[in-house]
Amino acid sequence: MPADKILLVDDEEEFILILSERMKSRGMSVETAESGPAAIKKAEKQDFDAVILDMMMPGMDGIETLKRLREVNPNLQVIMLTGHATLPNAVEAVKLGAADFLEKPANIATLIEKIKEAKIKKMVLEEKQAEERIRNILKSKGW
Amino acid sequence: MSTLGEGPGAEQRMRLMREKALGFFAVITASLSHEINNVVAIIGELSGLLDDLLAGTEKGRPLDQEKVKTISERIAKNVKKGEQIIKRLNRFAHSADEPVKDFDLRELLEQVTTIAQRLATLKGVSLEAELPEVSLPIRSNPFSMQQAIVGCIELAFSGSRRNDKITLTFGKEDAGAKITVTGPTHDGSEASQSMLSFLALLMRDLGGTMEASPAGNDTQSLMLHLPKSIERPAN
């Protein structure tokens, strides 16, 4: 089974450096970005099983980054990481399609569990879309 | 001059002052607690990294002593960073202890610049203190004074673009002191107008005045003129 491919987005350089090292030691393939625009660039070039996204970032914040990431790839599973786990933020993020929410500092076991769940959700979504495409082809060809 | 607690509309003014003071306290403590949280998160991950290394040794992997040393140094560095933030938070909280006290204006401006730094970073703006190397003793309300200065900074934020710069400085005047906040001209919105009216009220409470003057293209200086001493407790 290929390694889970994760994009970790946070403006705290030291935080993402250590967390990515811990995730890599658990067999994950981790890319990092220190800003919203940098994350979008990476998501445009590569597919990720999950994105771990900090809510509070300078410039483009987590909510705006989430919107843009979902435009790039609507199937992308984004787990919001926040120090301000307030209900309005959570509701807004979920409305915009965030897969989950996790308060910072996060327990790595919980984070990994959520990544696994996100990966399964993405696989189910992609399988459904593939089935839909096949059905459409079959219909259009009259087979 | 009448105090804010006297004359027509006194009750509304006092309520507004209380609400704004509480709002300011909330903004600053939320910002500083977020900074603490970031440090705690880093220390948490470093501790997790140590656990990972130990778990590796249980599986027969040799312990990388250099790595342990680096992690220990990083923990110490972040503990120090955390202590500094807590010290700032503590100093800020205690600034509301007494309505009037003696303090050094230079130290207060240094403190404001540091506590408002994260707010500026989130706006993508740089905030710098260009302070003369002299102390300026003053007797006033340090909490309200910080509120007035951060109010000026927030006005500058309203008209700011990424990479803009806001500077803080102070100088001695015959009657007392002048604090100058130079940055982008405010956006003229209803919120900014309301902030300007509030700042005028706050400065009146501090026995001082506020004025604005253009400082270049799309830039203005907000000047807070303060008396050397206020003897009555500010409202």
> pLDDT tens, A23-47?
999 999 999 999 999 999 999 999 9
The phi and psi torsions of B30 (rounded to 5 degrees) equal: -65, -45
Q: Identify the three-state secondary structure at position B102.
A: strand
What pLDDT, in 10s, does the model give residues A45-102? 999 999 999 988 888 889 999 999 999 999 999 999 887 656 678 788 888 999 998 8
Average pLDDT of the residues of chain B: 92
Rounded Cα–Cα distance for residues B136 and B145 (Å): 14
In this prediction, residues B195-217 reach a mean pLDDT of 92
Inter-chain CB proximity A58 and B38 less than 8 Å:
no
In this prediction, residues B124-147 reach a mean pLDDT of 95
pLDDT value for B5: 64
pLDDT value for B9: 77
Phi-psi bin for A51: left (phi > 0), alpha (psi -120 to 50), beta? beta
Q: Which chain B residues have a beta carbon less than 8 Å from that of A57?
A: 122
pLDDT value for B58: 92
pLDDT over 90 for what percent of chain B? 83
pLDDT band for position A126 (50/70/90)? confident
Say whether pLDDT at A142 is over 90.
no
Query: Is the distance from CB of B166 to CB of B182 less than 8 angstroms?
Result: yes
What pLDDT, in 10s, does the model give residues B58-87? 999 999 999 999 999 999 999 999 999 999
In this prediction, residues A97-119 reach a mean pLDDT of 91
CATH C-level class of A5-141 = alpha beta
What pLDDT, in 10s, does the model give residues B185-196? 999 999 999 999
DSSP H helical ranges for B103-187: 105-115, 117-123, 142-158
pLDDT value for B2: 53
Rounded Cα–Cα distance for residues A78 and A50 (Å): 6
pLDDT value for A137: 85
Pick from A1-10, A32-41, A85-94, B159-168: least confident: A85-94
Say whether pLDDT at B45 is over 80.
yes
Is residue B94 within 8 angstroms of chain A, CB to CB?
A: no
Best probe of the A interface among B33, B36, B38, B121, by most A CBs < 10 A, is B38
Which one is predicted more confidently, B79 or A131? B79
pLDDT over 70 for what percent of chain B? 95
pLDDT value for A132: 87
pLDDT value for A1: 66
pLDDT value for A42: 97
Say whether pLDDT at B111 is over 50.
yes
Q: How many CB pairs under 8 A join A and B?
A: 48
pLDDT value for B234: 47
pLDDT value for B217: 81
Inter-chain CB proximity B121 and A58 less than 8 Å:
yes
| ipTM surpassing 0.90 | no
Delimit the domains of chain A by residue range: 5-141
Inter-chain CB proximity B46 and A18 less than 8 Å:
yes
Q: Using only the alpha carbons of chain B, give its radius of gyration.
A: 22
CA A1 from centre of chain: 20
